[in-house]
Chain A
Amino acid sequence: MGIKFSLAAVVGLILAAYIGVTGAGFYHFFGVTMPYLAIILFLGGVAYRVLNWGRSPVPFRIPTTAGQQKSLPWVKHAKYDNPSTKGQTFVRMALEVLLFRSLFRNTKFEAEEGHRLYYQQEKWLWLAALTFHYCFLVILLRHLRFFTLPVPSFVQGLDRLDGFFQVGLPGIYITDGLFVLAVTYLIIRRLVIPQVRYISLPQDYFPLFLLLAIATTGILTRYIYKVDLIKVKTLAMGLISFHPVVPAGIGTIFFIHFFLVCTLFAYFPFSKLMHAGGIFLSPTRNLPNDNRIRRHVNPWNYPVKVHTYAQYEDHFREKMVEAGLPVDKELEEAPSAPAE
């Protein structure tokens, strides 16, 4: 169900762009309205989601403790698995965000023939996820060539590195192949592992199909149904300088690619893709484990009338002494009138 629905949604988007451009000639909608709408939804949506998360108080430190917490000096402290300071937490977060460290520890639990249960390392998900995310980043950064003039040298450098093999003209990019491979793996994984398939919903398949469609249309634009890049860049520069123009004669395949990208950005804040922002706001990751070092006051505590032991003793000292109970301060030391 979920698979068919997601697939149909992506095919529908492609058809909408195709018919909208070739049939109805809605160039302005697909070239100008959609990207502006998408960027507003993207930025506004991300800010909304993050601020909304920020409204939840986190009164107590709840990091996952994946190692020995800070203890006596001769007990070895697992600094980055159970950080106790902000600095250590920063390192933990950096490893998480840049290297997906906790995914690296992924295991699978399986029954062997003869009903022996065992745990096994499972690194493929980590490998595909990391490959996919970094390729995505490189592709996004390389696309800055459409949005900058002059193009910053790091973008050109990235382009040269990525096109290192100089195969064909226009040259193939390493990240393009890896991106498609990684996303394909992520899709197949959902389809063939029964447990994962069972818990997969349309909103799990849709982003994967969308990403695959974006990459495919991008690759088609570059190698097969080539478009006039000067016109594409004119469109892109027009958008970011707020003087949008849609030059006539850009191939339909570009509008399909562009529309899918706009959809991705517009959809981003309202979907599981927000894990990109969520990782930074995960209390199980971003808090130092200092529960036993610092006092954490619950922000919604209401004021409670307290009567401390010192006050109690001040109240009842004479009676306590009379009854022969031990007191912290003897009668002579204490001020004569009970202070309250």
Chain B
Amino acid sequence: MKIYDGKYILIGLLVFGVLATFPIWLDHGKVIAPADPSLNTPVIDAMMQKHCILPKAQMITEHMKLLNVWRTEVVRDGKRLYVAPDGRKYEMSLETECFRCHSNKAQFCDRCHNFAGLDKATDPYCFSCHVVPSEKKPGAGAVAVVPKEGK
């Protein structure tokens, strides 16, 4: 079989083939560690019946939506009280409510966010304003729930 201009065509096909399968080459041989977020914090460990604001599956997929709604309610409407579908009441606050239990951002939030490939510096952009209580310097008025997380 004669291919006319075979040189150009084969080079073109090769470049296309490599680009189209680029992730295979990039990830080749890497061991992909699972995200494995940790739920072991003193507050969660001390809970008799472990529960979050919504059922777990829903928290996984909806937490960003929930936080966004909270943000709007607090900032625009001045409401601070959230009543969950199961009747439990929560204060709509990332810093004092979420982080009360999930005081381990590095082993919890970051694990999945890194695995999903979010850009640590800018995404999610919550943390360009909010601070993580446990990462506040002692003496800055913060009540550290657990010792500062090491990296």
Contacts and interface: CB of A to CB of B under 8 A. Distances in A.
B interface residue count range (under 10 / 10 to 19 / 20 to 34 / 35 or more)? 35 or more
Given A47-B17, A145-B116, A226 B61 contact: yes
A230 B116 contact: yes
Contacts of A54: 3-6, 9
A170 B64 contact: yes
Interface string B3-20: 111100100110011001
A178 interface: no
Contacts of A166: 125
Contacts of B1: 51, 55
Interface in B100-147: 112, 114-119, 122-125
B13 A50 contact: yes
A241 B13 CA distance: 23
Nearest to A247: B34
Contacts of A228: 57, 60-61
A241 B9 contact: no
A169 B67 contact: yes
B4 A237 contact: no
A143 to B, nearest CB: 10
Interface string A39-76: 10011001100110011111000000000000000000
A164 B64 CA distance: 17
Contact of B27 (A50, A51, A149): A149
A230 B112 contact: yes
B27 A147 contact: yes
A149 B117 CA distance: 7
B91 interface: no
A57 B2 CA distance: 9
B27 A148 contact: yes
B66 to A, nearest CB: 9
Contacts of B20: 42-43
Contacts of B12: 50, 280
A207 B99 CA distance: 48
Interface string A140-178: 000011111111110111011000001011100000000
Contacts of A280: 12
B26 interface: yes
A227 interface: yes
Contacts of B112: 230
Contacts of A39: 21
Contact of B4 (A58, A153, A240, A241): A58
Contact of A156 (B13, B17, B123): B123
B48 interface: no
Interface in B73-121: 112, 114-119
A90 to B, nearest CB: 11
B68 A148 contact: no
Contacts of A155: 117
A249 interface: yes
Interface of A: 39, 42-43, 46-47, 50-51, 54-58, 144-153, 155-157, 159-160, 166, 168-170, 226-230, 233-234, 237, 240-241, 249, 277, 280-281, 299
15 contacts: A43-B21, A47-B13, A51-B3, A146-B117, A147-B27, A148-B23, A148-B27, A149-B30, A152-B26, A159-B119, A228-B61, A233-B116, A241-B27, A249-B57, A277-B16
Given A227-B61, A241-B28, 6 more contacts: A43-B20, A50-B12, A148-B27, A155-B117, A160-B123, A233-B116
